[in-house]
Amino acid sequence: MPVTRSNHDHGNRGEPVSSSADAVTTAGRVQGEALDGVVVFRGVPYAAPPIGPNRFRPPQPLEAWDGVREALTLPPSCPQPSQRPPGWPQEHAQDEDCLHLNVWTPGVDDGRRPVMVWFHGGGYAIGSGSWPLYDGTNLARRGDVVVVTVNHRLGPLGYLHLDGLAGDRLTGDEASVSGNAGMLDLVAALEWVRDNAVAFGGDPGNVTIMGESGGGAKVATLLAMPTAAGLFHRATIQSGPALRVTKPERARAAAVELVDALGAADDPSRLWSASVEEILAASASTSAGRMGFSPVLDGTVIPAHPGDALVRGTANDVPVIVGCNRDESAGTLPAELAEEDLPDRLRSQAGVAEDHLDDVLTTYRAAHPGATPLDVLSFVLTDQRMRAGSIQLAEAKAKGTSTPVWQYFFTYALAGRAGHGYEIAFMFDNLGVGGTPPSAERQRLADAMCDAWIAFARTGDPNHDGLAEWPPFVPPERTTMIFGRGASAAVDDPDAATRELWERVAVARRASRR
């Protein structure tokens, strides 16, 4: 590993003196920073900038550079509505030139380590691979693995279906897949990993893709994408089974609204001359809104709904971990809830139909004796929006493919709830970041989770010596690993009564549509 000494001003502040380390990519040499046993490369480009004529196009090949390119600064986020992620002291910079990734590795060009690629959450509209919660230092050092986080196009810049709307600015093929440009960015990032992993001490034949929330949904969608076949070998889907794949006619209707709002109906070139701010403002004025653009079932990039692909056995067949947290909707709960107000909340917030209301109340009160009305609402929202989908995805995977699937359920509460995204700090071994204060108990849980994810990336099986046996998910046992307080444990079909309830509701809904 070529290493040169470089203070980077650390020595003047009494901090550890770092070293710089170079890696040679297919496009040129990059300079990273070595500190505390890990080398990090920040802001490495994996495709040409998606600006100018490349806006809305599939990712284009990266041009090579001469000399050494510094990879010392976290890259800007892709354009998105203004937001402040947990742990950021201020708004993070945004730029349309955003197809970059970050790499953490224990050593450059000195081994064939498992590669763990993380796709950030935030739906398809917000987020960044550079959020502090996703820092791969501890994961890379602990597991002797290479960690990669990826930025990709979001919102209308990544998912605007311009089929028939782009004039001559896009070819017919480019326009027909423009609604999946953001997903194709992820494929380009995985192709970069395939072509460059060895230069960073990684194994291109052992790549695990991971993601939470929108990132988990992106992982599930990649399972159904032929262009991603062979680029990854395992997958984890964390709180991301609610797959938003838009039918082309609906996606095109949303694009027409945005085109009209930009004044581009008679002049498609306006789509390229408009500023990013104008495009985001136009997006907010459409029925899709700021958060509504998502991958498109275009028949080419995504030929089938990911759930259908799993059931039919046409999905990319790799081992999978899937699961969610106990209180996924904790951030949307009221401060208090009286017993007499619970039915109305179940109707309005959870969308429980009147003819299912008594069944829901009876089942949840029996399944959770002593639960407060707020607890019941939280459990219903989680089961309806996340857990039922996770179980359905696991069942489809178990029945439709040859490789195993493991299911988990995260129940460790912080401030009374095991909320959306709470597991990330544990599986990254990043306690102390994003509102998860460290403690001995929490570190034990982080050890169990982090080592399970590392074992899965290394061997395709999450079992390790510090964890109770975790069998694959197979109906009817439906074994699920409960990550919570005390020792984690594998439980057969936990909360079977509520699972069966939502199966009954789903059957009734399908019958009502006939």
Give 58's contacts (C-beta < 8 A, 6+ positions apart).
174, 177, 181, 184
Between CA 149 and CA 122 the distance in angstroms is: 14
Q: Is 213 a catalytic residue?
A: yes
Locate all alpha helices (DSSP H) within 177-286, ordered by sequence.
181-196, 214-222, 248-262, 270-273, 276-284
Task: Catalytic residue, from 100, 120, 161, 420: name it.
Answer: 420
CB count within 10 Å of CB 31 equals 18
Q: Is 100 a catalytic residue?
A: no
Task: Catalytic residue, from 20, 77, 128, 213: name it.
Answer: 213
Tokens of 287: 């029925």
Secondary structure class of 327 (helix, strand, coil) = strand
Bridge partner residues of 235 (DSSP): 209, 320
Between CA 484 and CA 68 the distance in angstroms is: 46
Between CA 467 and CA 447 the distance in angstroms is: 9
Q: For 298-390, where are the E strands, in sequence order?
A: 320-325
Quick one: which H or E segment has residue 31? strand 29-35
Tokens of 14: 């009494």
Maximum Cα interatomic distance, the chain, rounded to a whole number of Å: 72
Between CA 360 and CA 340 the distance in angstroms is: 15
Rounded to the nearest 10 degrees, how much is the dihedral formed by the CA atoms of 352, 353, 355, 358? 20
Give 312's contacts (C-beta < 8 A, 6+ positions apart).
304, 400
Bridge partner residues of 322 (DSSP): 237, 407
CA-based radius of gyration for the chain: 23
Tokens of 54: 């490349």
Query: Contact, 156 vs 179, CB < 8 A?
Result: no
Between CA 449 and CA 485 the distance in angstroms is: 12
Q: Is 420 a catalytic residue?
A: yes
Secondary structure class of 504 (helix, strand, coil) = helix
Task: Catalytic residue, from 212, 328, 395, 423: name it.
Answer: 328
* Amino acid in position 487: A
Catalytic residue ranges? 213, 328, 420
